[in-house]
């Protein structure tokens, strides 16, 4: 019995599996990857994750199917250990391998770099000096991390500080993230925002919430004994509800407001009387 | 049994023994919490429960041989001051806290926490006077249960006070102190962390090491049962 054309047979199998798998990855697995569609940035990250999964799917299938194919069709016959012939100098295989892997890596690198600096990409244009700043009006909100709690300051509302985060829907938000002590990281998961909170640094990130929702806020930088307790729920509300909330906050936290320093992008607070 | 099998068995037994010892050590460390102390029921006409606390600049050798110079909270139980920061309180109740503050000021890094928040009426009494905030520079400690929205700043004793308490337990009859009272409502059952927000860990980075990073000193749990 003549040996079948393994290359052709395996290629057909791989193509068939890829054609079946890709729609599943795009329409079934992709939406489950997260962080959801709570903001332009979150949706952008979902798209990025799906694109990377689509690129990875044929590669994973190639490796897994070849392993399976080899186990079935290239199994060592029982009764003796046979050494296969050495394959050397096959420039066709080598060239194909180098070209395909190089192209894939370059695609991922270019796509990742472009999306990282775009307003809705995985990086959301964030950083101390953002590369990408969304156009139009923005609501500045300062995120102040401290061991072990986040507080929030609204410079356009008299500099009032609040213990919880409430944001208006369909409004471009400029988050100015800083820390009063050690390194923290502000992570609003469902909004697709994660920004390091470093002392003496103003880390800027943009987010545009697109639906009324509750979202999780947590610290994602190990920062001490109560790091795990730096958790809270934030809320995206309608614009009128936000205006009511911020007006109430200005009254509720008036006493604290009177004690606050003037609004600044970073703070170097005293005391360090007992600090080492 | 061959020599090789004996060697394999020996190494296996040794690895398992070391693993068990490490596991026991980690389990002991992970389950070593300060002894919980229950709030005492308040008189029927008042309702709720009473919790009496004090903050001291130095816990002393008697209560903490390992860290006698650390700042700490103490809790009153059966007429004695106990070194514990895990308090058991009833659910859906009002907790009346009386706190004797013996330490000097350090100041708040975030003045936002100088306002009393989350207490009944949004106030506390300071030496008998009702206030809703303090000068952030005068804060010595805070009693804060963030998940319950409770933030109570505790002003310090003047550094010129004639009779500061040198070592815990401190008594109001003999040492300079501030008396703070406030009440807060508990909700559903659960374990809630509480902490001091003043960087009062002397000699540590930003004052937030040592007693601020160790259960049983400047932070712990409120067990709502």
Alpha-carbon gap: A17 to the closest alpha carbon of chain B (Å): 45
Among candidate residues A86, A117, A148, the one where a domain is terminated: A117
pLDDT tens readout for residues A32-78: 988 988 998 888 888 989 999 999 999 999 999 999 999 998 888 77
Note whether residue A264 is domain-resident. Answer: no
Do the Cβ atoms of A188 and A208 come closer than 8 Å?
no
Note whether residue A134 is domain-resident. Answer: no
- What H or E segment, with its residue span, contains residue A31? none
Determine how β-strand A173-179 pairs with β-strand B124-126: unpaired
| Residue among A226, A270, A276 minimizing CB distance to B204 | A276
What is the share, in percent, of chain A residues with pLDDT greater than 70? 94
For chain A, how many structural domains are there in total?
Answer: 2
This prediction has a pTM of: 0.84
What residue ranges of chain B have pLDDT lower than 70?
none
- What are the percentages of helix, strand and coil residues in chain B, rounded to 5? 20, 35, 45
Alpha-carbon gap: A269 to the closest alpha carbon of chain B (Å): 6
Q: Are A253 and A143 members of one domain?
A: yes
C-beta atoms of B109 and A180 within 8 A = yes
CA dist., res. B52 & res. B61, Å (int): 22
| Residue among A151, A182, A255 minimizing CB distance to B110 | A151
What does residue B121 show for φ and ψ, rounded to 5 degrees?
A: 80, 0
C-beta atoms of A272 and B132 within 8 A = no
CATH of domain B37-224: 2.60.40
pLDDT tens readout for residues A111-144: 888 887 776 655 555 777 787 788 889 999 999 9
pLDDT tens readout for residues A74-109: 888 777 677 778 888 889 889 998 999 999 999 999
- What residue in B sits closest to A161 (Cα-Cα)? B112
- What residue in B sits closest to A233 (Cα-Cα)? B147
CB pairs under 8 A between A and B: 103
C-beta atoms of A181 and B111 within 8 A = no
C-beta atoms of B115 and A253 within 8 A = yes
- C-alpha B130 chain-centroid distance: 24
Task: Write out the residue range of the structural domain in which residue A39 sits.
Answer: 7-74+100-117
Note whether residue A268 is domain-resident. Answer: no
Residues β-bridged to residue A99: none
CA dist., res. A153 & res. A160, Å (int): 6
Instruction: Respond yes or no on whether ipTM tops 0.90.
Output: no
Locate the domains of chain B by residue range: 1-32, 37-224
C-beta atoms of B109 and A256 within 8 A = no
Of the pLDDT bands very low, low, confident and very high (cuts 50, 70, 90), residue A271 is low
Alpha-carbon gap: B219 to the closest alpha carbon of chain A (Å): 9
| Residue among B111, B112, B193 minimizing CB distance to A229 | B193
What does residue A150 show for φ and ψ, rounded to 5 degrees?
A: -105, 135
C-beta atoms of B199 and A274 within 8 A = yes
CA dist., res. A62 & res. A94, Å (int): 16
């Amino acid at each position: 019995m003549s040996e079948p054309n393994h290359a052709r047979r395996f290629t057909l199998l791989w193509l068939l599996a890829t054609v079946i798998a890709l729609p599943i990855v795009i329409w079934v697995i992709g939406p489950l990857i997260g962080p959801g569609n709570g903001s332009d940035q979150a949706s952008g990250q979902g798209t990025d994750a799906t694109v990377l999964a689509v690129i990875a799917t044929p590669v994973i299938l190639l490796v897994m199917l070849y392993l399976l194919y080899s186990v079935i069709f290239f199994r060592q016959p029982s009764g003796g250990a046979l050494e296969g012939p050495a394959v050397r100098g096959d420039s066709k295989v080598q060239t194909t391998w180098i070209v395909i892997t190089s192209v894939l890596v370059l695609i991922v690198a270019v796509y990742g770099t472009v999306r990282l600096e775009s307003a809705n990409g995985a990086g959301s244009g964030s950083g101390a000096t953002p590369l990408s700043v969304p156009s139009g009006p923005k609501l500045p909100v300062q995120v102040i991390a401290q061991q072990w709690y986040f507080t929030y300051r609204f410079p356009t509302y008299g500099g009032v500080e609040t213990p919880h985060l409430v944001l208006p829907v369909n409004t471009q938000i400029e988050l100015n993230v800083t820390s009063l002590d050690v390194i923290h990281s502000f992570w609003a998961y469902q909004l697709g925002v994660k920004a390091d909170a470093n002392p003496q640094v103003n880390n800027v990130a943009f987010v545009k919430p697109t639906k009324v929702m509750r979202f999780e806020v947590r610290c994602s930088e190990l920062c001490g004994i109560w790091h795990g307790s730096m958790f809270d729920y934030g809320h995206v509300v309608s614009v009128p509800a936000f205006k009511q909330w911020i007006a109430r906050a200005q009254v509720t936290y008036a006493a604290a407001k009177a004690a606050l320093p003037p609004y600044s992008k970073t703070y170097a607070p005293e005391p360090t009387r007992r600090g080492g | 049994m061959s020599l090789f099998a004996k060697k394999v068995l020996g190494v296996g037994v040794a690895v398992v023994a070391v693993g068990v010892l490490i596991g026991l050590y980690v389990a002991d460390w992970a389950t070593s919490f300060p002894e919980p102390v229950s709030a005492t029921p308040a008189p029927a006409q008042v309702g709720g429960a009473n919790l009496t606390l004090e903050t001291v600049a130095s816990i002393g050798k008697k209560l903490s041989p390992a860290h006698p110079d650390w700042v700490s909270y103490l809790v009153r139980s059966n007429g004695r001051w106990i070194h514990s920061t895990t308090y058991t309180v009833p659910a859906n109740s009002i907790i009346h806290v009386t706190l004797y503050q013996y330490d000097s000021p350090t100041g708040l890094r975030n003045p936002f926490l100088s306002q009393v928040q989350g207490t009944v009426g949004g106030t506390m009494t300071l030496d008998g006077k009702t206030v809703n905030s303090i000068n952030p520079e005068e804060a010595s400690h805070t009693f804060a249960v963030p998940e319950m929205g409770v933030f109570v700043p505790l002003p310090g004793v003047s550094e010129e006070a004639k009779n500061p308490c040198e070592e815990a337990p401190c008594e109001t009859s003999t040492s300079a102190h501030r008396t703070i009272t406030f009440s807060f409502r508990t909700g559903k059952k659960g374990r809630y962390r509480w902490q001091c927000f003043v960087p009062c860990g002397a000699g540590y980075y930003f004052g937030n090491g040592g007693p601020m990073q160790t259960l049983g000193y400047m932070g712990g749990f409120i067990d709502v049962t």
